[in-house]
Amino acid sequence: MSEEYDARRIENKWQQYWEEHGSFAASDDRSKKKYYVLIEFPYPSGEGLHVGHPRSYTALDVVARKRRMEGYNVLFPIGWDAFGLPAENFAIKTGRHPREVTQQNIRRFRSQLKRLGFSFDWSREIDTTDPAYYKWTQWIFLKLWKKGLAYKSEMPINWCTSCNVGLANEEVVGGVCERCGGEVVRKVKSQWMLKITDYAERLLQDLETVDFLDQITMQQTNWIGRSTGAEVDFPVYSSGGKKHCMKIFTTRPDTLFGVTYMVLSPEHPLVAELLPACENAGEVRKYVERAANKSDFERTEVVKEVSGVEFRGITALNPATHQEVPVWIADYVLISYGTGAIMAVPGHDERDWRFASRYGLPIVEVISGGDVTREAFVDIDRGTLVNSGPLDGLPPDKAIGRMVEIVEAGGYGRASVQYRLRDWVFSRQRYWGEPIPMVKCPSCGWVPLPESQLPLVLPEVERYKTTDTGESPLVLIDDWVAVDCPQCKGPARRETDTMPQWAGSSWYFLRYTDPHNDAELASQKNLKYWMPVDWYNGGMEHTTLHLLYSRFWHKFLYDIGVVPSAEPYKKRTSHGLILGENGEKMSKSRGNVVNPDEMVDKYGADAFRLYEMFMGAFDQPIPWNTRGLNGMNRFIHRIWDVAEKVSPTAEESRELTTLVHQSIKKVTGDIESMKFNTAIAQLMTLSHALNRRDEVRREDMELFLLLCNPFAPHVCEELWERLGHDTPCAGEAWPQWDEKKVRVDTVTVVIQVNGKLRSRFDAPRDMPKEELEKNAREDAKVEQYISGKTIRKVIVVPNKLVNIVAS
RNA sequence: GCCGAAGUGGUGGAAUUGGUAGACGCGCUGGACUCAAAAUCCAGUGGGGGCAACCUCGUGCGAGUUCGAUUCUCGCCUUCGGCACCA
């Protein structure tokens, strides 16, 4: 079969074969054991695929192919996360409909992916912009609304003053508009919100039930940001004698005796309530206004400069000490966390200390161990309570619990848990997204569209740009906006906001289990069989938001009986970014984008896939280096050459058999732990060993091909066929190693003298310690290092080394 | 500032229940094939020294534990990632 290796011909042939035979279509036959392999579905951008995308796809394609060979019924689907800003911005610029542009991009992505030979089940392809798909995205929204988990609220958005457009957080770079460099300010808009905070505790707790990479679990935990402490009610009096209640949250109730002032956030409702009774209302009002006009950028960027204003004529009473303390307003206290108000303990909180120092407020020490005249003493693990009545003498951790008891007994507070996690801002004032299926009726308020009217299809518009008031272009289509109220049939208006890109991606993995179902988002039968996802891999950049949002939706769907498991993903891993050849992030603007098409044209898909997996540790970021593909090309040629040496007269070599079985073991384990680079290194070592022989046994070659198949499937199928098989190697069983054959007969034992390597000898495996020591002592080279010295100690590690300590 | 990960040849990276540092690639050097180039094949390749067998230094820096440390402990330095006035 002497013939040149021709990547293009072979790859076309086998891709066509797989397509014609539906080789990788998942069967819904529930009698088989299943395995669901998931990659993050791509956003089909106008730039097309770049070499970063296939890193994750190749890795899980390797896993999927291995699982099939292990006898699993594998679901490895693909689809398009196709709503999103770039298509809309492109539409604004060119006037072309985002749908048209998106479909064109999808076609391009699809053909690019097909060339790489991934074993996707293409019959289950989904597209988030397809009304048949987003019908169910809207359906989930209605369910959320009915359970009280969707609500409208005034929220500040990023507003570009020169584009007159609302921006997503990721479009604000360094405080200015990413596209035009214009000033970005906060603008308050009424927004749909989803109450993810109701699920905070479960999203945190259930991390213990899944197998996520440690780093991912940690990031989720940090993002949820659980803190325990206490809520304490401080009575507040104005000069008129009227009593108000100021509720604060603190993680350090042990410092309650050190409170010297109180602080309200400028947005706190109590501010308006107290304003008429205070002596400097004008000053306070001015401060509140100034804080409101500050952008988030200003408010957080100028970290060191604290500011605030005292509420003169207002005092708060410390319920524990019955001491009067002043009340201030300062923008270092955030309305969005805790209760929007704090008790200030400048002796033991850095921010309070800074503020107290600036405004000359008293600083009281209630935990000894530091020097509160110089800085706040915040070390919770050291120190002793002082000046704190019943807490005196206690260490802080004990005092916290004690104080909570006192506060609860006194009836002015309670133990409390707070989360950093905020509710999810769910609406966008944009065109290219799922319409939110809600109607605003002047008499009934917000009314959901009946489920029978879904999908609510995105109407055609003439222009895609947002309006000058920052509303979505949909607001201009009068005959779409005007609608009868589903409840009272009176005139009403549709919601014109659309959903964020996160919506469609929060449940797409469910749709893959039953992608063409128009009665349910997916059948119970299929969900029960396929869910949860067994292995999900994606970018580190999605480990907080996307993962959290989709886990939230999944838990909600679980609560209403739609999905069978509380968690969507059993196992989640992440890959490192592929950088440009210059080591910078790959992007069109940097001009360092590498297109996989060119690589496949030149080297073929198999070489490309091998390089993606071989180039470095899978979880680390790594710069692309096209020259590395040469090595993969050589490797494939070597596989080809070895196949030509297969001969019925070839004899078994004990040494080679050992290497083959070692390779089976190594490759099997390395794929599971995503050490694809070392798996391929092992295969290269094996290829060299095979190639050194004049003739190769057929069974050795076959085992080698089966091991290579997940990485370089085209060439393996071709050679498999040339060896005379009429069924593909993708359908063969994954090889098993024999532990007895993995072990070598002869080992090299090294001899050290005082820890330095001096000599070595070969010995049969498991030679007794005494004999190893004897061999070492009699070694000629060792002689010169120990002659004339006293041997103090000899360390023998069987099958490894002998270390002689002499002086 | 807080949390986390990592620093190994010219280069990407291997090796950790402490036991031969640099597997496997890229690049480079020499050779084969070719009219020539590309591709492919063979050999060599951490630094310094030696004709050589060999010697010596070497895993960010400095200490420590150990017969033995890339691996463990302590203290620094640097890089990357996440969070960041979260009370």
- The predicted-structure confidence for A114-135, as pLDDT tens digits, reads as follows 999 999 999 999 999 999 999 9
The total of other beta-carbon atoms located within 10 Å of residue A107's CB is 11
pLDDT given for residue A171 in this prediction: 64
Q: What percent of chain A has pLDDT over 70?
A: 96
- The answer on pLDDT for A536 being more than 70 is yes
Query: How many Å is the Cα radius of gyration of chain A?
Result: 34
State the Cα–Cα distance between residues A754 and A807, nearest whole angstrom: 9
Nearest nt to the A675 alpha carbon by C1': B14
Three-state SS at A534: coil
Of A750, A746, A802, A747, the C-alpha closest to A773 is A802
Closest residue, CA to C1' of B24: A681
Confidence of residue A317 (pLDDT cuts 50, 70, 90): very high
**Nearest-CA residue to the C1' of B6?**
A620
Cα–Cα nearest to A76, from A119, A107, A34, A43: A119
pLDDT of residue A304: 59
d(CA A594, C1' B13) / Å: 22
What is the spatial distance, in angstroms and rounded to an integer, between the CA atom of A380 and the C1' atom of B73? 25
C-alpha angle A196/A198/A203, rounded to 5°?
70
Q: Which alpha helices (H) appear in A538-627, and where do they start and end?
A: 545-559, 596-603, 605-614
Averaged pLDDT of chain A: 90
Mean pLDDT, residues A286-310 taken together: 74
The residue that minimises its CA distance to C1' of B11 is: A625
CA–C1' span, A768 to B74, in Å? Answer: 39
Instruction: Give Cβ neighbours of residue A130 (< 8 Å, ≥ 6 apart).
Output: none
**CA–C1' gap, A748 and B51, in angstroms:** 30
CB neighbour list of residue A108: distance below 8 Å, 6 or more residues apart: A44, A48, A49
Q: Helix, strand or coil for residue A187? A: strand
DSSP string, A138-153: HHHHHHHHHTT-EEEE
The CATH class, in words, for A745-806 is: alpha beta
Burial class (CB in 10 A: 0-12, 13-18, 19+), A739: exposed
Task: Give residue A257's pLDDT.
Answer: 95
| CA–CA separation, A356 and A332 (whole Å) | 12
Domain ranges for chain A? 226-419, 745-806
Integer Cα distance of A68 and A62 in angstroms? 10
Measured CA A143 to C1' B83 distance, in angstroms: 33
Query: Tell me, in Å, how far CA of A6 is from C1' of B76?
Result: 56
Q: What's the Å distance between residue A539 CA and nucleotide B5 C1'?
A: 16
Nucleotide nearest A760, from its CA to each C1': B20
Residue A1 confidence (pLDDT) = 46
Rounded, the Å distance between the CA of A615 and C1' of B71 is 24
Nucleotide showing the shortest C1' distance to residue A631 CA: B25
Q: Which nucleotide does the CA of A784 lie closest to, via C1'?
A: B54
Distance A780 CA to B53 C1' (A): 14
Helix, strand, or coil (residue A116): coil
Q: What does the alpha-carbon distance between residue A558 and residue A536 come to, in Å, rounded to a whole number?
A: 19
List C-alpha distances in Å: A536 to A37, A52, A491, A574, A653: 6, 17, 47, 8, 41
pLDDT of amino acid A195: 94
Q: How far apart are CA A264 and CA A681, in angstroms?
A: 62
Token pair 């990031």: residue:
A219
At the top level of CATH, the class of A226-419 is alpha beta
More confident residue, A276 or A528: A528
pLDDT band for position A507 (cuts 50, 70, 90): very high
A126 to each of A74, A202, A453, how far by Cα in Å?
18, 30, 22
Report which of residues A649 and A3 the model is more confident about.
A649
C-alpha to C-alpha distance for A435 and A135, rounded to whole angstroms: 10
What are the distances in angstroms from CA A149 to CA A188, A199, A433, A774? 21, 10, 20, 77
Q: Å from A154 (CA) to B49 (C1')?
A: 77
Find the mean pLDDT for residues A346-355.
Answer: 92
The CA distance from A463 to A454, in Å, is 25
CA-based nearest residue to A69, from A125, A21, A24, A18 = A24
The integer distance in angstroms from the CA atom of A711 to the C1' atom of B33 is 31
Alpha-carbon distance of A786 to A807, in angstroms, equals 8
Cα(A50)–Cα(A314) distance, rounded to whole angstroms? 62
Nucleotide with the nearest C1' to A621 CA: B80
**Quick one: tokens of A108?**
């391009």
What's the CA A544/C1' B2 distance, rounded, in angstroms?
18
| CA triple A265-A268-A273, angle to 5 deg | 125
CA of A610 to C1' of B64 (A): 44
Considering all nucleic acid strands, name the nucleotide whose C1' atom is nearest to the C-alpha of residue A785: B55
Q: How many CA atoms lie within 13 A of A549 on its CB side?
A: 20
CA→C1' distance for A24 and B66 (Å) = 55
Side-chain-side CA neighbours of residue A305 (13 Å): 5
> Residue A302, CA: closest nucleotide via C1'?
B85
pLDDT confidence of residue A155: 79
| CA–CA separation, A78 and A127 (whole Å) | 9
Render pLDDT for A748-791 as a digit per residue (tens, 0 to 9). Answer: 888 888 888 888 888 888 888 888 888 888 887 888 787 777 88
CA at A444, C1' at B6: how many angstroms apart?
59
How sure is the predictor about A657, in pLDDT bands with cuts at 50, 70 and 90? very high
Please tell me the predicted confidence (pLDDT) of residue A584. 80
User: What's the CA A756/C1' B16 distance, rounded, in angstroms?
Assistant: 20
Average pLDDT over residues A181-202: 85
Half-sphere exposure at residue A283, Cβ-oriented, CA atoms within 13 angstroms: 12
Give the residue with minimal CA–C1' separation from B87: A250
Q: How far is the CA of A630 from the C1' of B14 (A)?
A: 20
State whether residue A416 is helix, strand or coil.
strand
Report the distance separating Cα A701 and Cα A646, nearest Å.
Answer: 7
Protein CA at A634 to nucleotide C1' at B36, angstroms:
23
The whole-number pLDDT of residue A2 equals 55
**Closest Cα to residue A14, out of A729, A613, A749?**
A729
Q: Which residue is nearest to nucleotide B53 (CA to C1')?
A: A781
* Nucleotide nearest to A793 in CA–C1' terms: B67
Q: Helix H segments across A294-367?
A: 296-301, 350-359
| pLDDT, tens digit, 9 for 90 and up, residues A96-109 | 999 999 999 999 99
Q: Residue A607, CA: closest nucleotide via C1'?
A: B25
A300 has a pLDDT exceeding 70 = no
Closest nucleotide to residue A255 (Cα to C1')? B87
Helix or strand or coil: residue A788? coil
Which chain B positions come under 7 Å from a protein C-beta? Answer: 3-5, 11-15, 19-21, 23-27, 39-42, 55-56, 67-69, 80-87
A757: which nucleotide lies closest, measuring CA to C1'? B20
Q: Is A597 exposed, middle or buried (CB count within 10 Å of its CB: 0-12, 13-18, 19+)?
A: middle
Nearest nucleotide, C1' to the C-alpha of A222?
B83
Model confidence at A612, pLDDT cuts 50, 70, 90, reads very high
Which of A124, A68, A182, A107 minimizes the C-alpha distance to A522?
A: A124
How do residues A208-235 score in pLDDT, each as one tens digit? 999 999 889 988 998 999 999 999 999 9
CA of A235 to C1' of B62 (A): 58
> Measured between alpha carbons, how far apart are the two ends of chain A, in Å?
65
Provide φ and ψ at A47, rounded to 5°.
-80, -15
The answer on pLDDT for A414 being more than 90 is: yes
B82 C1': nearest CA residue = A219
Checking each nucleotide's C1' against the CA of A350, the nearest proves to be B85
d(C-alpha A609, C-alpha A447), whole Å: 52
Which nucleotide minimizes the distance between its C1' and the CA of A685? B24
ipTM of this complex > 0.90? Answer: yes
CA of A61 to C1' of B14 (A): 24
**At A592, is the pLDDT very low, low, confident or very high (cuts 50, 70, 90)?**
confident
- Residue A734 reports pLDDT greater than 50: yes
SS3 of A248-311: EEECCHHHHHHCCEEEECCCCHHHHHHHHHCCCHHHHHHHHHHHHHCCHHHHHHCCCCCCEEEE
Q: What percent of chain A has pLDDT over 90?
A: 63
pLDDT score of A302 more than 60: no
Please return the burial class of A643, using the count of CB atoms within 10 Å of its CB with bins 0-12, 13-18 and 19+.
buried
Which among A391, A407, A395 has a CA at the least distance from the CA of A230? A407
Find the nucleotide nearest A800 (Cα to C1′): B19
Closest nucleotide over all strands to A421 (CA to C1'): B86
CA atoms within 13 A on the CB side of A297: 14
A802 within 8 A of A772, measured Cβ to Cβ:
yes
